[in-house]
Structure 1
Amino acid sequence: MHTQTLAGKTAIVTGASSGIGYATALALAKAGAAVVVQARRQERLDELVRLIESQGGKALAVAGDASREEDIDNLLEQATSWTRGGSKYDIVVVNAGRGLAGGILHSDESQWQEVYDVNVLGAGRLLRRAGHYLVQRKGGDIVVVGSSVGRNISPFSGFYGSSKFAVGAMAEALRREVCTAGVRVSVIMPGIVVSEFQGVAGYNAENFGKTVEQFGKLLQPQDIAEGIQFLVSLPPHVNINEMMIRPTGQPYP
């Protein structure tokens, strides 16, 4: 049962058309936040907005590509001019990203640039802009969705893992820059979550399913969303910098 712990706040969630982003937008809205959602698929965002509004919440869809500088700028501009959200934002969930099966030797090299454009450079631009804005406001939350393979690099997803290692490093660097202004930065590192992510990354029953079936019940996007809601609902003087959430049966990574 969600309480209105985030009433009066506005949250931005990227990569909100499915999976963790979709579930996070719903969770934050249920907790009372007005939510600005970004993804490339306008129709999925519109569906999410309708669902949030049908539950009494407030939401705004801003379609865009999280790797494009102009789309990031437009997202933040829309958030700060949205009167239903109070013409400001307090929480930024840097969730947009994509996976890639394989390590340095066997991942598809033609996709390397796209992985870093979204997972590292796009995320970094959003961190920079949101960091400047929240420092001026003297408070707020930035939550970066990393990965357990960003901490425990796996040869089966090594190139992707390197991108999540990088964004985790950027988040900690940002935390040190902004913490004295009252801005919190957290990295949440999911283990295996069942979503569209696996298919886009190139995982299938052969290279993924056999490995994970031994782990038992896997995480759902809602499990991570609840972790994010917990982080941003803490008292302002408490900042959990890192949180790793795995299925109970997942030994590694």
Structure 2
Amino acid sequence: MINHQVAAVSGGTSGIGYATLEALREVDVQVAFSGRRAERVRQIAAEHNRDGCCVEGVVADAVDEDHVHRLFDAASAAFGAQPTAFILCAGRGMPGSLVTSDVSQWEDLLRINVLGAMRQLRTCAGLFTQAHPGTAQIRDIVVIGSTVGRVLSAGNPVYGATKFALHSLVESLRQELCERGVRVSLIEPGFVKTEFQASAGYDMRWFNELEQTQGPFLSARDLAASIRFVLEQPPHVHVDDIRIRPSRQRV
């Protein structure tokens, strides 16, 4: 990849994050990635490093205050250079409306999807603007949002509220950093079929039945291809927002 030799992926052990890691490795980008499951982090590193160190894993939670610093330090130690691209995939879902959702999960949802993302974006913005002042090196921040962060979802508004907040943060950061050589981009997927739904507690029977009428749903690799497209644009071109849905998804 012309723009980046080293990238960092937050939430790179499954789903869109792992597909992005693989897509970057296909074009010889070295990747530092994070995830909460230590065994999964070790497994990914072992699989990809058989012929030399090309990925470096960090066991971290999305809300850890030192999350991004640890990712960047791991990349520097393993590859001799800090990332110039940061892809934020870490997050969680939650089914239900304001009335029907599990109120005991609200705080954790906001802590991960909003506060955790805010900390990561703030830290990454600081590192990117400090590391390459006055240089032509383009730096990229790519954030995974959701269509429910733009179009009101009556069935999933609590999760959607965290994505509305995230989208606002991403656009404000884009405006703040665009003159400093940092591109901030948002990817808004519709229905994507990964382990995200089951781990968040969605009704998988409903989800599978929905795919019969509005699918086939997107795969994680479909999203990874969009992320790679954003990263591969020449420095004077910024694809700052992509909304991507299954062809038959209505809303």
SS for the counterpart of 2:184 is strand
SS for the counterpart of 2:66 is helix
Q: Is the 8 A contact 1:35 1:60 kept in 2?
A: yes
Of residues 38, 44, 64 in structure 2, which corresponds to 1:42? 38
**Mapped partners of 2:60, 2:30: distance in 1:** 19
What is the TM-score of this pair, normalised by structure 1? 0.91
Of residues 118, 121, 126 in structure 2, which corresponds to 1:124? 118
Deviations 1:92-118 (A, max 9, x none): 001100000012111111111111111
Gaps of 5+ in 1: none
**Aligned residue identity for 1:218:** F
Q: Is the 8 A contact 1:15 1:38 kept in 2?
A: yes
Q: Is the 8 A contact 2:16 2:220 kept in 1?
A: yes
Of residues 79, 89, 97 in structure 2, which corresponds to 1:95? 89
Q: 1:109 to 1:83 in 2, by over 3 A?
A: same
SS for the counterpart of 2:32 is strand
Q: CA RMSD in A?
A: 1.7
SS for the counterpart of 1:192 is coil
**Mapped partners of 2:235, 2:219: distance in 1:** 28
Of residues 90, 109, 127 in structure 2, which corresponds to 1:115? 109
SS for the counterpart of 1:32 is coil
Q: 1:205 to 1:34 in 2, by over 3 A?
A: closer
**Mapped partners of 2:204, 2:116: distance in 1:** 30
What is the TM-score of this pair, normalised by structure 2? 0.92
Q: Is the 8 A contact 2:72 2:82 kept in 1?
A: no
SS for the counterpart of 2:247 is coil
SS for the counterpart of 1:65 is coil
Give 1:71 deviation, angstroms: 3.4
SS for the counterpart of 2:242 is strand
Q: Is the 8 A contact 2:194 2:219 kept in 1?
A: yes
Greater displacement, 130-139 / 225-234? 130-139
**Mapped partners of 1:148, 1:54: distance in 2:** 38
SS for the counterpart of 1:50 is helix
**Aligned residue identity for 1:40:** R
Deviations 1:42-77 (A, max 9, x none): 221222223333477710001110112133432333
Percent of paired sites with the same residue: 39
**Mapped partners of 1:167, 1:48: distance in 2:** 28
**Aligned residue identity for 1:82:** A
1:1-253 residue pairs with structure 2 within 5 A?
4-5=1-2, 9-54=5-50, 58-79=54-75, 81-84=76-79, 86-136=80-130, 137-138=132-133, 139-252=138-251
Greater displacement, 135-144 / 180-189? 135-144
Give 1:14 deviation, angstroms: 1.1
